[in-house]
Amino acid sequence: MSDATLHDAQPTKRSLHQIDARTKRRNAAESRFKMLGIGAIGIGIAFLIILLSTIVVNGASAFQQSFLEVPVYLDPAKLDKKGNRDPADLKKATTFTYAPLIEKGLLDAVQSAGIETPLSKTKDMKNLISSSAAAQLRDRVLADPSLIGQTVTAKILASSRVDGYLKGRVHRAEIAQDKNITVEQLDLADALIKAGILHKSFNLDFILGSDASDSRAEQAGIGVSMLGSFYMMLVVLVLALPIGVAASIYLEEFAPKNRFTDLIEVNISNLAAVPSIVFGILGLAVFIQFAHLPQSAPLVGGLVLTLMTLPTIIISTRAALKAVPPSIRDAALGIGASKMQATFHHVLPLAMPGILTGTIIGLAQALGETAPLLLIGMVGFIATNAPDGFWDGFVSPNSAMPAQIYEWAKRADPAFYERAWGGIIILLIFLLGMNIIAIILRRKFERRW
C-alpha cells in the first residue's frame, strides 16, 4: 500500500541524509514488527523454560530413592520348616513369612545402634519398610538356599512415606490423620539417617524396573514399559517404512495422474489429520475382535501406530522424492536405464535423508501417543513382567511409556506423581534423541541442487 502511494508524492528537494516523516514511519513500523517478533519468540522461550523447569523440578526426585541397609537373620525355623532345603518346600514360605523377619532385623538394628525410640515392637517397623522388601529377600533365598540360617545384609527400599519425608514431600505437621506413618516413625527415620542405616541414593530401578502396585510406589519403574514402547516402534518401523516408501514411490514415480490417484492423494492427507483415538477403535475392531490378536500386546499397539504413522511417512517421502530434480531422472533414462533403475539407483538414494527424517519424526510422534493404546488394553497395571526372550516381547502384555505415565498420574499415592514427572523426563530424552538423530541425518546426507 505504502509503496503505491510513494510514487504519487510530490518530489521535493531534500537531502538523503535527512530522514523524512514517511521514512520514519516505515522504519518505525519495521522496528515495531521486529519487537513483536522478538516478543513472540521471548514468550515462546519463557514458556519452554517454565515447562522444562517444572518437569525437572517435579521429576528429578524420582531418580533418587531412600534405601535401608538392614541385617536380616534368615530363621530356618520359619523359612524351612522341614529342614531339607528342598526348593519346592522353600517356595511354600511366602512373602508374608519374610516380612516379619525384615521388620525384626530393622528393630534389632535400631536397638543395637542405641537409638532411643518409643517404638519397640516389630510391627512398628512395618511402615518404614517397603512391602517389596519381602519379595526381594525371598527371591534371594530361593536362588541361594544356603543363605538360610545366616544373617544377610539386605539393601531394601524404604516405604514411600519415609522416602517422601526424606525428599521433603511428607511433613510432620500434616500426618496427623495418616495411618501409614506416625511422627515417632519419622523421628526414627531421622535417627536412622544419622546411624547410616537409611540413606538416599541413585535409583537405577526407576529406569530399568517394572511397574508396581498402588501400595508400593517406591518400587515402580518405567523399564518394562520402555521395552513395550521399543517393541511397538520396531513394529512401526518394520511395517510403516517399507509400506510408506513403496506407496510414495509408486504414487510419485509410476502412477498415472488421474482422478483416481488424486482421490488417493487427498485421502492420505486427510488420514494424517484423523485423531489417533479413531485408529485405536479401528485397531480394537480389526486386530483384536476380528483377527483375534492378543489384547495388551505391543504387536497390536505397533500395528495401530503403524496406521497412524503411515500418512506422515508417505507425505514426507513424497516431498523428498519431489525435491530430487527431474534432470537426474532424465539423465538416467537418457542413458538407457529403465524407470525402475532410474528410481532405485538414482532418485531414491538422493531422497533417502528426507525419507529418514520423516520416518523418525513419525516414530517420535507415535512414541508419545497414548489415546489409541487405551482401547487395546495397554493402560493399567500391565507392565509388570519383562518378556522372556525377543519374540515373546511382541505378544506378552505390556504398556508403553506415555501410557505408564498416564497411569501413574492418576494413582492415589502422591509418590506416584513424582514418578509420572520422572517418566516424562525419560520420555522427553528419548524424543529429543530421536529428533537430534533426524537433524544429524539431514545435515549429513542432504544435498542441495
Partner 1 sequence: MKSVKLAVSAIAIVAATGTTAFARDNIQVAGSSTVLPYASIVAEAFGENFDYPTPVVESGGSSSGLKRFCEGVGENTIDVANASRKIKDKEIATCAENGVTDIMEVRIGYDGIVFASQKDGPAFDAFDPSDIYNALGAKVMKDGQLVDNTYAKWNEFNAALPDADIIAFIPGTKHGTREVFEEKVLEAGCEATGAMEAYVASGMDEKAAAKECMKVRTDGKAVDIDGDYTETLARIGSNPNGIGVFGLAFYENNTDKLKVATMSGVTPSTETIASGDYPVSRPLFFYVKKAHIGQIPGLKEYAEFFVSDDMAGADGPLAQYGLVSDPELAQTQEAVAAETTMNSGM
List residues near partner 1 by CB under 8 A: 91, 94-96, 131, 135, 138-139, 170-171, 174-180, 212-216, 235, 238-239, 241-242, 246, 288, 291-296, 299, 344, 377, 379-382, 384-385, 391, 394-397, 409-414
Q: Is the CB of 299 or the CB of 307 nearer to partner 1?
A: 299
Distance CA 160, CA 414 (A): 9
Query: Nearest approach, Cβ of 409 to partner 1 (angstroms)?
Result: 7
Q: How far is the CB of 71 from partner 1 (least distance, A)?
A: 22
Closer residue to partner 1 in complex, CB, 228/311: 228
Give the strand pairing for 198-202 and 151-157: unpaired
* Phi, psi (degrees; rounded to nearest 5) at 73: -85, 120
In one-letter notation, the amino acid at residue 405 is I
CB 154 within 8 A of CB 135: no
Closer by beta carbon to partner 1, 14 or else 179: 179
Q: Which helix (H) or strand (E) holds 156?
A: strand 151-157
For residue 23, give the amino acid letter: T
Least distance from C-beta 33 to partner 1, angstroms?
39
* In the complex, minimum distance from the CB of residue 137 to partner 1, in angstroms, rounded to a whole number: 11
Q: How far is the CB of 331 from partner 1 (least distance, A)?
A: 21
CA 105 to chain centre: 37
Instruction: Decide whether 197 or 301 has the Cβ nearer to partner 1.
Output: 301
The nearer residue to partner 1, 86 or 139, going by C-beta atoms, is 139
Return d(Cα 374, Cα 301) in angstroms, integer: 10
The DSSP call for residue 153 is E
In angstroms, give the least distance from the CB of 339 to partner 1: 14
Helix locations, 195-222, DSSP H: 204-208
Question: Among 272, 275, 291, which residue's Cα sits nearest to residue 283?
Answer: 291
**Smallest distance, partner 1 to C-beta of residue 88, A:** 10
CB–CB of 379/397 below 8 Å? no
Q: C-beta of 385: minimal distance to partner 1 in Å? A: 5
Between 109 and 401, whose beta carbon lies closer to partner 1? 401
Contact 234, 302 (CB under 8 A): yes
CA proximity to 134, closest of 150, 164, 152, 154: 154
Q: C-alpha cell of 224?
A: 518394562
| Gyration radius of the chain's alpha carbons | 31
Nearer to partner 1, 9 or 176 (CB): 176
By beta-carbon proximity to partner 1, the closer residue of 203 and 219 is 219
C-alpha cell at 176: 496427623
Q: What does DSSP assign to residue 439?
A: H
